[in-house]
Structures are given as structure tokens and as C-alpha cells.
Structure 1
Amino acid sequence: MKSTAPQLTVTEERRAFGWVDALVMLALLGLFWSALHFGKGMLVHFDPAAVPQVDSSPSLIPYYAGRTLMRMWIAFGFSLFFAISVGYLAAKNRTARAFILPALDVLQSVPVLGFLSATVTGFMALFPGRLLGVECAAIFAIFTGQVWNMAFGFYHSMVTVPTDMQEAASTYGLTRWQRFRTVELPASAHSLIWNSMMSFGGGWFFVAQSEAISVMNKDIKLPGLGSYMVQAISNGDKTAALWAVVAMIVLILASDQLVWRPLLAWADKFKIELTGSTTPATSWVYNLLRGAYLFTWISERLWRPLLDKVFQARAPMARMPVRLKASWKKLLWQVVGIVLSIWIGIELLRAVAAATAALHGALSLTDFGHIVWLGFLTALRVAAMTVLATLIWTPVGVWIGFQPRVARFAQPLAQIGASFPVNMTFPIVVGFFVASHISLNWGSILLIAMGTQWYILFNVIAGAMAIPNDLKEAGRVYGLRRWSLWRTLILPAIFPFWVTGACTAAGGAWNASIVAELATWGGTSLQADGLGAYIANVTKTGDTPLIIASIGVMSIFVVLMNKLIWRRLYAFAERRFRLD
């Protein structure tokens, strides 16, 4: 008869519902009620001929903030799904990559106003007589301001997963889903979360354009903080503008504490390192949620039984011979790919035919040359912003990434800077430029940087935080200091992240130029010579041929820069700076 020493006996702790679970359930019920409360405002009747004005009363700011926040998170949900799906497909399929990466380059180059010009009418026709059509257009515009950075970042993380981890997954015979869930997604978690934070901030940057739509000689203002800001700017109402700024800062800080900081604390366990950091990321919300039994109960009673039923339903498929199942899947994906390619090709041909018909006889060679010249001027501003932001924010980002305690304070400040719409600085900027006799041709570089330099900062921070702690300790053991440490460890480690940040910053700078090259406050207006201001003007007047030509020229500039510079740097980073 065998017996076990009492002090060695391990008893499983039986968990039960407690006050933390009650608090979590109350929070979930509050979110559900908020979604219903703010969502019903999207379904009201809408008449384009009688658009209601935005009320500037501060008492309505909480309602406007809720409507805007709901649009932001809906757009982010679609962005996250798109980024993971498309990034995974581009990383795993060479043929798909040849189409996806150029398509992302082109789509990233199309400004938010360009998407609005093409989609507002279509969404309004899809939901006639309802505000939901305009809401969908606004959500789609916010989606286009968020998704490209996330897609590029996730793709880059997928192609730089360490080779030994991929070989281990192959050795253990993991399926594609198991490999993605246990190896690739955890390895990409840090980059995906930091790029999600930056992309969410990018959505705030363009929220004013998305909610206060001025296209085709139509002015439509949806209830929200963005339209409230536009109303305050056009009226020169400093009090209303200040209230909008305060509301936005509160929402950004709340998102940081309730969403992003817990996610960073959770993702810290996925860092690829042999020794843990002495100061890991922490979050009071994450610690609180870890003590909740509700999620364990849902997993045991709902999620796992549902998965078991799904796998039981797939059991006959599992008994199919391996070769037959592989050929069947390959044939299915080929059919889907062919059908999707044909549909995309037809839509592209229709779009090209419509654009050609609109441009035929309506655009002279002189007009086109002038647009190209304006594009060249904006390109110089984009290049200047990228170089200056790299020189300034790379050392700052590394310092923040190496100091988790500093990151706790710097992270929300950086989010505020990244999320702050540049047009809210116009009360100060316009007055300063006028008083100092500074031309907006130079001042617009500062305004562009205020909206896009954060892509570089956030990606550098993510790269610095992703450096394994054992490599840092090895650097200290070998006595690496200052430039030798930067040259040997820091620069190679953060270079792939910097490429992602610089590429998306440059692409976002073209979009931001539409806001930055045309600054207005009250009755004072400043305009720079550039393609951004030109697109803003022709979009407002509804000149379709010039809209198509200017957006086409901007797309060509961005695609050429991506092809000649960023694609080569991506390939270089993938080839030389993998953590293997």
C-alpha cells in the first residue's frame, strides 16, 4: 500500500463566482446597453436635403463621444479581421503575396476623402432613407485610416517568425490552425498590439473627415466628436473646441487603461526570450480579470463543448485519406481564388473604364502636369517628415522600450499625440504662422509630422520591447556600450519594426497632407502648394475628373516609393534581421 506525504499532496483549488465576476458581468451589461443606446441612433430616418446641424452644447458631448467611440471600435473590429486574414495569406502564399502587397500599396495611397467620394453615394443607395448608409460610409472611412498599418505590421511579423519555432511546429506535426494559434499569432502579438494602438490613433486623426463629410457639394455631419470639432472650427468657438479636446483625451486615456495596457501585459508572456524581464508590463485591469471565474466558466461550459461538436462534425472528413483530403482542399482553394480573381478583375476593369470615361476630354495635359508638380512638392514634404521623425523618435522609442516603467507613463502620452487630430491645433497653429510670417509651404511639414510621426515611434518602441532579455544581458556581459551596443544589437533588432513604421508613416503622410496643407480657423485660411490641398479643394467642389486625376497621381507616387524603397527594405529586413 502506497501513501503520499501530506505536505506533498496537491489539492486542486475549486473556484467559484465572486465579486470580481459580478463586476465583470455588470461591465459587460453596461457595454451591451451602450451599444444598443448609441446604435439605435444609426437607424433613424435621414433626408439628404434637410441635414440637421450639430448642436454645440457641451451637455451633448458625452452622447457625441459615445457615437464616435462606437464607430471607432466597429471599424477596428473589421480592421483586425482584415489585417490578420490578408497578412496571413500574403505571408503563406507566394502567388497571393504578388497581388496583395501591391494592392495594399495602392489602397494605402488613396486618401480618406477619396474613399468617401466613392462610397458615400453607394452606401446611401444601399440604405435609402436611413442614416445607416452614411454611418457605414463613415465607418468605412475610419477603417481605411486604421487597417493598412495593421496589415503591413502583421505580415511583417509573420515572415519574421524564428525558423527554429517553425521547424519545431513541423516536427510536432501541427496543423495550420494549431501552428497559427500556438506559434505564429503569439510571436506576432507584440507587434500586432502596438500597431493596433497606432492604427486606432490613426482613426482618431481622421475622425473629423469621416463624420463631417463634404463631397460632391454635399455637407453631411453625423452626430459625433469629429463633426463637433468641425463645427467649432468653422465657428471659431474656442470653448467648444476645448471641450472636444478634453473629451477626446478622456476617451484616449480610458482606452489605454481598459484595453491597450491589459493587452500589453497579457502579450508580455509571448516574448521570445530565455530570461524574463525584471520589470514586466503590468495592468490593474489585467490583474483584475485574471481573478474572474466567469471566463473559465464560459470556456469550460460553452466554448469547449462547442468546439467538440464542431470537431465531431468534421470526424468523417478526418477519416478521409490524406492525399484525397489535400487534393480536395487544394482544388477548393483554387476555385475560390479563380472566382475571386475574376470578380476583382471585372471590378477593376469597370472602375478603369468609368475613370477613363470621366477623364476623356475633361483634363488637359497642362492640368495633369500641374497635378504631377503638386505631387512632387508633397513628396518632398513626406520625405522630410520621414527623415526628421526617424532621427528624433528612434532614440526616444528605444529609451521607452528599454524602460518599462517609463513606458507606463509615455505610452498614454504618445497615444494622445498620435490620436490628436491636426485640425484641432489650427487655433494655435494658424495664429502662430500668421504672426510669425511662416508660409504653410514649410509649416505643413510640421502639421504632417504631428499626425504620422507616431507610426515610427510606436513601431520602434515595439521593436525595442521585443528584444529578448537574454540578448540584452549578453550585451552587458560583453561590455557593449553606446554606439557599439546600437550597431551590434539595437539597430539590427529594431530595423524590421522601423521599416514597418516608416512605410506606414510615409503612406499616412500623403493622407495627412490633405488636412495639413489647408489650415482654416474661423475666417482665416492658409493654403500650401501641394497635392493634399488640391485634393481637398476639388473634392469639396465635386469636380469628378480632377478628383480621379489627383487621387491617381497620389497613388502612383506612393506605389513608386513603396516599390523602389520600402519593398526592398522589407526584403532586406526579412533576409538579414530575423531572430533565428
Structure 2
Amino acid sequence: MPFRTSGPAASRASLPSRAAGRLARTTWVDLVVAAAVLVLLYLTLRVGQGTTVRFSTSQSAKVDTDPARLPYDAARSLLRMFVALAASVVFTFVYAYTAARSRRLERILIPALDILQSVPVLGFLTVAVSGFIALFPGSMLGLECASIFAIFTSQAWNMTFGFYYSLTAMPRELDELSRSLRFTRWMRFWKVELPSGAISLVWNGMMSFGGGWFFLVASEAISVNNKDYALPGVGSYAGAAIADGDLGKVGWAILTMAVMVIGVNFLFWRPLTAWAEKFKNEQSEATEVQRSYVLDLLRRSHWPRLLGYVLRPVGRGLGRAARILGTDDRPLTHDPARQRTGDIAFAVVAGGLILWGLAGLAEYLHDTSGLGVFGEPLLLGLATLGRVLLLVAAATVVWVPIGVRIGFSPKLTRIAQPVIQVLASFPANFLFPLAVWFFLRTGLSIDVGGILLMALGAQWYILFNTIAGAMSIPTDLREAMDDLGVHGWQRWRRLILPGIFPSYVTGGITASGGAWNASIVAEVVTFGGTTLTATGLGAYIAQATAGGDFPRLIAGVAVMSLYVVALNRLLWRRLYRLAETRYTL
């Protein structure tokens, strides 16, 4: 007579048998998915071999601009972009969760995030190149890591801000319910917090990926301390073609970039945005939803379920680890006296470390160039500040209505998403030939025209976050407005503006920081032998980086951080608090 068991043990024992049963029912869809994964792994390994070849800092930067090299260059660029995206997601989860759940650390981490997003990519590259080359001597891996780090710095901050807001704006009832059910930290994060911020995270990730494309030229063709370094990639290819003044090869680079962006959107971002629809907080199902052929194919395959069986023990292990780590730093009940004492001790330690660092920096600048080095960038920063404010205001007026229209229509989203991705991912450097010709032909000053180039890297944050905010508005609320006959301005005032306001604030703060960062490549425009330079802090930092003038570079980055933090404190943080207290669904 066969022996049978029941209960959890039987359930655990049946997992391999269920997985084997699904594997036995393999269909043509499973074969297609498996073949695609194997091909992807093979291409990744083949392309990754080029990242560990020998490299010497004495080598001259030479880029092969033969169009036949573009497929390989495109694969190298894609590999860097996705590695940087994976690092950005991990950073987002850890940093945003820590800031949202630790009241004391929040006071340090969020202002630090303001500063980090204000530091230009070239500022990070100056330190990263020397550090990674020293870490991997004689290997191309050092330059690869520096390039990936630069792309990471153009992606991570926007995603972190968006997910941090999602955690702080999560309804308190959900948090209390998860505590009453005795969820571990891991269960609460995986079952409650991550789903509540999924739509915002996906759309901000898409925008951040576009930000990585925007700075691709700067991260692959690196000029630091009077030395030029170059990596195989579409960015370095375009940079070399622009320097040579070869419009034909610039056109090939633009075509390759467009193909990559559309392909990544179809195979990666559209399936993610369609999948994220399941996390919309609503009581009635929308009549029209986003669709993705790739997602439909994966849903018909057994492989995702088999992968879930394999990863289930990992989830249990993370849950046990979270239980060992203890409780939240934001308990529902607390001792005010003990909390006040801890706050004072934390403030003293943190303040002491900050003052110690500032004293060391002031001593270095005093010994090298004098503290008067801050005077020029402070004045130049006012010019760039004016461009940033004008850009954010114009982008708000133009893109908020468009973003709401796209977010409310899944059909329009399917059409607009690839177009927006191409536009948002288009590096300003690729337009330098057209920009130089246009500015010289029309007599338009680069001081004004630079705003248009800055907009290429900043305005999309507002559009993408507005789309995410509009998509997050529950369908039943929109249907209720239709039933009540609320239209026009009343609909905007009662539903749309309150519904998108939190996402817009996230887009505004990252657009502002992105505009400051974009000024580095938008205020100095070069094509062939012609260079146009605007009056502004971005041009100041770009020139200091290229010349290896570290005192001026430090002063420029410090002043840019000061402007960004001041703008965030005076404007965006107040809007954040307003969104938390009044406009949370």
C-alpha cells in the first residue's frame, strides 16, 4: 500500500514534481523562449569578452568609425546600459527603503541625494576613471567599470526619488495591516510596498534608461585631465564622427541609436509597463489595458512559473534574514524622551563628520587656488539657474496635458511610448552638427539655444512621471467623474491635478537636477573645428574637466550642488510635503 503524507511537508515535496510536470508539458512557446534566452546568454558572453582585454593608459584613444563595426558597438553599449540599470535598481531599493523607513537616516540620505543628482556625470568620471583604472591595472575592465558607473549616475537618482516617494505616500492602513498580520520586512516589502510603487518605478526606470542614452557619448569617449580614453560603443563612435565632421557617419550612429531604442522598448519596456498594470489600485477593471506581444508570449510559457519555483527558497531565506535584523526604525509607538536623545546624538555625529569634511576641502582649496575660486562659478550659476527655471516652467505647460492624455489612453500609450523613448534617449551630442549649423545660420546665441539642448535631457522627466501619475489614477474614480458629468477645468481641479501631483513633483525635482546635469554638454557645442560656448556653470565645469583643473572643477561642482539643494529646499521639498499630506490616493 503506498505511503502518503499531507500538510506542509507534502506541499514542499510536491514542488519538484509540479515543476517536472510543467516541464513535461513543454510547448512550442517554451522552446521559443528557451532559445531566445540561450541566444541572449551567448551574445552577452561573446560581447563581454571584449571588456577584459589588455589596456594601457599610454594608449591613444582611437575609435574605428567603420559602419560595419556598429552592430558590435551597439551590443557593447547595450551591455553597459543594462548592467548600470541593474545596479540602479539595487541602489534604489536599498537607498529609498532606508530613507523612507529610518527617520534619522532620512535627514542625511535625502539631502545627500539632492547633492548626488546635482553632481554632473563629468564630475563623477574625473574620480571614477582614475579609481577604476588603479583597481584593474592593465585591463580594459577598469574603463568599462568607470563608464558603467557614469551611466549609473545618470540613472539611479530619478528612480530613487520616485520609489522613495512611493514608500512615503503609501496609505498608512496598508502599513498597519501588514504589521497586524506580522509580516516580516521582506514580506511587507515584496507584498505591499513594491507593488504600490511598481508603476512609478517602471516608468521612472524607463526615463532613467533614456537618461543613460543621453550621456552615452560622455561616458564612452572620456576626456579627463588632458587624457582621452575611448571604449567601443555607439557613443564613442558618434563622438569620433562628430569630431571629424563626418555627417554620413553621424547619420549611421543616429540610425543605430533609433533601432536600439525601439528594440529595447519592444522587448523590454513595453512588456514591463503592461505587466505593471496589474498593480493599479482600483476597484473596477479598466475596459482597455496595455498589451505586449512579448508579455503574452511569456505568459503562455511555463518557464516563468518554473523560475518562481527555483527562486522561492531565496525568498524564504530573505524573509528569515529580515526577521533576524529586527523591527522598523519607525515603530507605531515610541518613547519620545529616548527618541529625542537618539536624535541629538545622531545629529552631533553626523554634523561633526560633515564639518570635518568641509574643513579638509577648504584647506585643500586654500592651498591650491584660494577660496576666491568660488566667485566666478557663483555668478555663472545664476545664468544656468535662469535656463533651468525657464525650462522646467515651459516643460510643465507643454508636457503635463500631453502626459495626462497619454496616461489615460492605453491605445495612445502603445503608440506614443516608442516615440517618446526615442526622443528621450536622443543624446544632445548627436544634434551638435544641426545645432552648430542652425545657430550660425540664424545668428541665435548659444546662451539661448543652449536651453533647447538642455531640454533634450530634462523635459522628459516631467512627461514620464505625469504619464505614470495619470495611469495610477483608479479607473473607478474616472468613471465616477463621467457619471457625475464633471468635465473641463472642474475635472482637472477635482481629479487630475490632485491625482498626478505627487508624480509631477518627482518629475519636477528630477527634471531640475537633470537640467543642471545636461548643461554640461549643452553649454559647449563642438562640431568639426567650430566650438560654441555659452555663459554658464555647465561650460565652466566642462572646461575645468577637460583641462584637469581640479580646484576649479571642485568649486564648480560644489556651487552646482549648492544651487540644486537650495532650489530643492525652497521649492520642491515643500511641494513634496504638500503631496504627502493632501494628495495621496
TM-score normalised to structure 1 length: 0.90
Q: Give yes or no for the alignment of 1:576 onto 2:579.
A: no
Q: Give yes or no for the alignment of 1:113 onto 2:122.
A: yes
2:191 paired residue number: 182
Amino acid at match of 1:427: P
Contact 1:390–1:456, Cα closer than 8 Å, also in 2: yes
Q: Give yes or no for the alignment of 1:291 onto 2:297.
A: no
- For residues 347 and 59 of structure 2, the distance between their equivalents in structure 1, rounded to whole angstroms, comes to 42
Indicate the SS of the match to 1:50.
coil
Q: Give yes or no for the alignment of 1:525 onto 2:525.
A: no
- For residues 497 and 524 of structure 1, the distance between their equivalents in structure 2, rounded to whole angstroms, comes to 41
2:140 paired residue number: 131
Amino acid at match of 1:105: D
* 1:474-511 superposed Cα distances (whole Å, 9 cap, x missing partner): 11111111100000000000010000001000001111
| Greater mean deviation of Cα atoms: 273-282 or 15-24 | 15-24
Cα deviation for residue 205 of structure 1 reads 0.4
- For residues 459 and 314 of structure 1, the distance between their equivalents in structure 2, rounded to whole angstroms, comes to 34
Decide whether aligned partners of structure 1 residues 130 and 105 sit closer, same or farther in structure 2, where only a CA change above 3 A counts.
Answer: same
1:260 paired residue number: 269
Decide whether aligned partners of structure 1 residues 344 and 400 sit closer, same or farther in structure 2, where only a CA change above 3 A counts.
Answer: same
Cα deviation for residue 523 of structure 1 reads 1.5
2:312 paired residue number: 304
Decide whether aligned partners of structure 1 residues 522 and 364 sit closer, same or farther in structure 2, where only a CA change above 3 A counts.
Answer: same
1:377-526 counterparts in 2 under 5 A? Answer: 377-526=383-532
- For residues 140 and 26 of structure 1, the distance between their equivalents in structure 2, rounded to whole angstroms, comes to 31
Indicate the SS of the match to 2:64.
coil
Decide whether aligned partners of structure 1 residues 268 and 308 sit closer, same or farther in structure 2, where only a CA change above 3 A counts.
Answer: closer
* 1:235-290 superposed Cα distances (whole Å, 9 cap, x missing partner): 01111111111111111111111111111111111100011111111100000000
Decide whether aligned partners of structure 1 residues 310 and 178 sit closer, same or farther in structure 2, where only a CA change above 3 A counts.
Answer: closer
| Greater mean deviation of Cα atoms: 364-373 or 184-193 | 364-373
Decide whether aligned partners of structure 1 residues 248 and 347 sit closer, same or farther in structure 2, where only a CA change above 3 A counts.
Answer: farther
* 1:145-175 superposed Cα distances (whole Å, 9 cap, x missing partner): 0000000000001111123323332333322
RMSD of aligned residue pairs (Cα, Å): 2.7
Cα deviation for residue 309 of structure 1 reads 7.5
Contact 2:373–2:555, Cα closer than 8 Å, also in 1: no
Amino acid at match of 2:427: P
1:348-367 counterparts in 2 under 5 A? Answer: 352=358, 355-363=361-369, 367=373
Contact 1:355–1:548, Cα closer than 8 Å, also in 2: no
1:156-305 counterparts in 2 under 5 A? Answer: 156-300=165-309, 302-304=310-312
Indicate the SS of the match to 1:360.
helix
- For residues 482 and 518 of structure 1, the distance between their equivalents in structure 2, rounded to whole angstroms, comes to 44
- For residues 476 and 355 of structure 1, the distance between their equivalents in structure 2, rounded to whole angstroms, comes to 60
Amino acid at match of 2:89: L
- For residues 422 and 314 of structure 1, the distance between their equivalents in structure 2, rounded to whole angstroms, comes to 45
1:101 paired residue number: 110
Contact 1:389–1:453, Cα closer than 8 Å, also in 2: yes
- For residues 308 and 157 of structure 1, the distance between their equivalents in structure 2, rounded to whole angstroms, comes to 25
2:37 paired residue number: 28
Unaligned 5+ runs, structure 1: 1-11, 327-336
Contact 1:495–1:573, Cα closer than 8 Å, also in 2: yes
Decide whether aligned partners of structure 1 residues 306 and 476 sit closer, same or farther in structure 2, where only a CA change above 3 A counts.
Answer: closer
- For residues 318 and 500 of structure 2, the distance between their equivalents in structure 1, rounded to whole angstroms, comes to 41
Decide whether aligned partners of structure 1 residues 86 and 366 sit closer, same or farther in structure 2, where only a CA change above 3 A counts.
Answer: closer
Decide whether aligned partners of structure 1 residues 305 and 184 sit closer, same or farther in structure 2, where only a CA change above 3 A counts.
Answer: closer
1:330 paired residue number: none
Indicate the SS of the match to 1:168.
helix
* 1:502-541 superposed Cα distances (whole Å, 9 cap, x missing partner): 1000001111001111111111211110000111111101
Amino acid at match of 1:171: S
Q: Give yes or no for the alignment of 1:90 onto 2:96.
A: no
* 1:147-204 superposed Cα distances (whole Å, 9 cap, x missing partner): 0000000000111112332333233332222121111111100000000000000000
1:7 paired residue number: none
Amino acid at match of 2:168: V
- For residues 342 and 37 of structure 1, the distance between their equivalents in structure 2, rounded to whole angstroms, comes to 52
Contact 1:385–1:449, Cα closer than 8 Å, also in 2: yes
Decide whether aligned partners of structure 1 residues 355 and 489 sit closer, same or farther in structure 2, where only a CA change above 3 A counts.
Answer: same
Contact 1:394–1:456, Cα closer than 8 Å, also in 2: yes
Amino acid at match of 1:517: E
| Greater mean deviation of Cα atoms: 177-186 or 377-386 | 177-186
Contact 2:186–2:318, Cα closer than 8 Å, also in 1: no
Decide whether aligned partners of structure 1 residues 28 and 94 sit closer, same or farther in structure 2, where only a CA change above 3 A counts.
Answer: same
- For residues 310 and 560 of structure 1, the distance between their equivalents in structure 2, rounded to whole angstroms, comes to 39
2:569 paired residue number: 563
Decide whether aligned partners of structure 1 residues 310 and 543 sit closer, same or farther in structure 2, where only a CA change above 3 A counts.
Answer: closer
- For residues 287 and 192 of structure 1, the distance between their equivalents in structure 2, rounded to whole angstroms, comes to 21
| Structure 2 counterpart of 1:51, from 49, 57, 60 | 60
- For residues 239 and 85 of structure 1, the distance between their equivalents in structure 2, rounded to whole angstroms, comes to 45
Amino acid at match of 1:519: V
Decide whether aligned partners of structure 1 residues 209 and 321 sit closer, same or farther in structure 2, where only a CA change above 3 A counts.
Answer: closer
1:152 paired residue number: 161
* 1:331-388 superposed Cα distances (whole Å, 9 cap, x missing partner): xxxxxx9xx9999999967864663344124435664322111011100100000000
Decide whether aligned partners of structure 1 residues 321 and 266 sit closer, same or farther in structure 2, where only a CA change above 3 A counts.
Answer: closer
Contact 2:30–2:303, Cα closer than 8 Å, also in 1: yes
Q: Give yes or no for the alignment of 1:374 onto 2:380.
A: yes
- For residues 273 and 228 of structure 1, the distance between their equivalents in structure 2, rounded to whole angstroms, comes to 47
- For residues 347 and 30 of structure 2, the distance between their equivalents in structure 1, rounded to whole angstroms, comes to 48
- For residues 481 and 357 of structure 1, the distance between their equivalents in structure 2, rounded to whole angstroms, comes to 62
Decide whether aligned partners of structure 1 residues 344 and 465 sit closer, same or farther in structure 2, where only a CA change above 3 A counts.
Answer: same
Decide whether aligned partners of structure 1 residues 314 and 456 sit closer, same or farther in structure 2, where only a CA change above 3 A counts.
Answer: closer
Cα deviation for residue 546 of structure 1 reads 0.6
Indicate the SS of the match to 2:229.
strand
- For residues 482 and 315 of structure 2, the distance between their equivalents in structure 1, rounded to whole angstroms, comes to 47
1:548 paired residue number: 554
- For residues 531 and 310 of structure 1, the distance between their equivalents in structure 2, rounded to whole angstroms, comes to 46
Decide whether aligned partners of structure 1 residues 310 and 510 sit closer, same or farther in structure 2, where only a CA change above 3 A counts.
Answer: closer
Amino acid at match of 2:395: A
- For residues 314 and 483 of structure 1, the distance between their equivalents in structure 2, rounded to whole angstroms, comes to 51
- For residues 540 and 494 of structure 1, the distance between their equivalents in structure 2, rounded to whole angstroms, comes to 41
Contact 2:544–2:552, Cα closer than 8 Å, also in 1: yes
Amino acid at match of 1:459: N
Cα deviation for residue 58 of structure 1 reads 0.4
What percentage of residue pairs aligned between the two structures are identical? Answer: 49
- For residues 185 and 535 of structure 2, the distance between their equivalents in structure 1, rounded to whole angstroms, comes to 51
Unaligned 5+ runs, structure 2: 1-17, 332-342
- For residues 305 and 95 of structure 1, the distance between their equivalents in structure 2, rounded to whole angstroms, comes to 33
Indicate the SS of the match to 1:428.
helix
Indicate the SS of the match to 2:285.
coil
Indicate the SS of the match to 1:220.
strand
- For residues 93 and 309 of structure 1, the distance between their equivalents in structure 2, rounded to whole angstroms, comes to 23
TM-score normalised to structure 2 length: 0.89
- For residues 105 and 448 of structure 1, the distance between their equivalents in structure 2, rounded to whole angstroms, comes to 19
Indicate the SS of the match to 1:520.
strand
